[in-house]
Amino acid sequence: MKLQRGAALLMAMLTVALVATLASATLWQQWRAVEVEAAERSRLQSAWVLIGALDWARLILREDARQGGADYLAEPWAVPLESARLSTFLAADRSDTLEADATQEAFLSGQITDLQSRLNLANLVQNGKVDEPSQVAFARLFELLGLAPTELAVMTENLRLAQGAILGGAPAAPAATPASTGIASGPLWPQTIDQLAWVGLSAQTIAALRPFVTILPVVTPVNLNTAPVEVIYACVAAFELADAQALVSARAVSHLETLADASKLTGNADAKFNAAQHSVSSRFFEVNGQLRLEQSIVQEQSVLQRDGMNVKTLWRQRGVGAVAAPLQ
């Protein structure tokens, strides 16, 4: 009898353990499904908000084009959007993309940057040949930043080879890079600044150049209204650094309406400005948006091309990361 009771008790304990295990597994699966659903919902919400922010940026640039004239840093498009609660922009009803409670922990920020405020690598090699004025501009920038001229020579040759391949020329071995030699296949034309490693630049050089160079699909002049001192110095061969600083200070008081204004403001009789290298307006812009939603952060980078009233997106790139500390 005692053995029967002991066996019954053991079976009961095993049954309870089995039920508890199954219940735990079921609860874990439900929790995981809820977490996956919440993450997917957050991803979709973030995507829609950032798409809306990009459309907003396009609208700002379109309205700026309606006004016409030069592009300069005192215009509305150039004013960055500091981090602000999403509820500032959305109505407080339940029909919004994000529910009212969610908007309390959602912060949106962003900035539009003129890409023609930088030296364009597309200018350096044109129709398979090195453009001499652009080569001089990049050489001056490398010298100013203390970068090795050998890296510029390697990059220029590899860009020439890459463009030759695009134009239908025979593939050729790339020029030797500081990090490696003997690469079998020809270089590829880079699409982003990080990809300049493909054409022979070191990580340190890429980091130094990042604020001052860009890669655009066509040849573009430098906008003297928006370019930093370093870029203006590089693209005006007769300038000393002090001349570039004087031009930046003068345009802060009154922006340049024409290239003739730049000639008047410089006071340097040797400085020559031409439409092939210099301008006072722009067609290409970069939009950086950031959405902080609870403990995650979503960033999006887009490049826009504006031709008259038409503003189109050339490419978009999105990344997701974690916020180190709780949002305040």
For 127-183, the pLDDT digits (tens) are 889 999 999 999 999 999 999 999 999 999 999 999 887 766 544 445 554 444 444
Query: What pLDDT, on the 0 to 100 scale, is given for residue 169?
Result: 52
Are 227 and 203 contained in the same domain? no
91 within some domain: yes
* Domain final position from 176, 210, 244: 210
98 with 134, same domain?
no
Question: Is residue 171 one of the residues assigned to a domain?
Answer: yes
> 271 and 202 in one domain?
no
Rg (CA), the chain: 28
For residue 129, being part of any structural domain is answered with yes
Does 199 lie in the same domain as 158?
A: yes
Q: Indicate if 123 and 201 belong to the same structural domain.
A: yes
Could you give phi then psi for residue 83, rounded to 5 degrees? -55, 120
92-141 tens-digit pLDDT: 444 444 444 554 578 888 999 999 999 999 999 998 899 999 999 999 99
Position 201 scores a pLDDT of 95
Residue 31 in domain: no
Helix axes 132-145, 149-166, angle to 10 degrees: 140
Q: Do 177 and 200 meet the contact criterion of CB atoms below 8 Å apart?
A: yes
One domain for residues 135 and 203: yes
pLDDT (0 to 100) of residue 327:
29
Residue 19 within any structural domain of the chain? no
> Are 200 and 172 found together in one domain?
yes
| Residue 300 DSSP symbol | E
Distances in whole angstroms, Cα of residue 278 to Cα of each of 4, 119, 220: 98, 11, 8
Residue 215 resides in a domain: no
Residues 152 and 193 in one domain: yes
Do 128 and 100 share a domain, yes or no? no
**CA 227/CA 236 separation, integer angstroms:** 12
Residue ranges making up the domain that contains 94: 41-116+283-322
Residue 327 lies in a domain: no
Domain boundary at 164, 181, 210, which?
A: 210
319 near 192, Cβ under 8 Å? no
Question: Do residue 201 and residue 270 come from a single domain?
Answer: no
Question: How many structural domains does the chain have?
Answer: 3
Q: How would you label 243-266 residue by residue, b for 16+ Cβ within 10 Å and e otherwise?
A: bbebbbebbeeebbeebebbeebb
**CATH code of the domain containing 312:** 3.30.1300.30
Whether the Cβ atoms of residue 142 and residue 149 lie closer than 8 Å to each other:
yes
Q: Which helix (H) or strand (E) segment is 185 a member of?
A: none
138, 234 Cβ separation under 8 angstroms: yes
At 41 the pLDDT is 66
Last residue of one domain, picked from the residues 177, 210, 243:
210
Q: What pLDDT does residue 93 have?
A: 46
Q: Are residues 72 and 123 in the same domain?
A: no
Q: How far is CA 184 from CA 155, 172, 181, in A?
A: 17, 9, 9
In a domain, 16, yes or no: no
Residue 34's pLDDT is: 63
- Segments in the chain below pLDDT 70: 1-7, 9, 31, 33-43, 87-104, 167-185, 320-328
Q: Output the pLDDT for position 163.
A: 87
**237 shares its domain with 294:** no
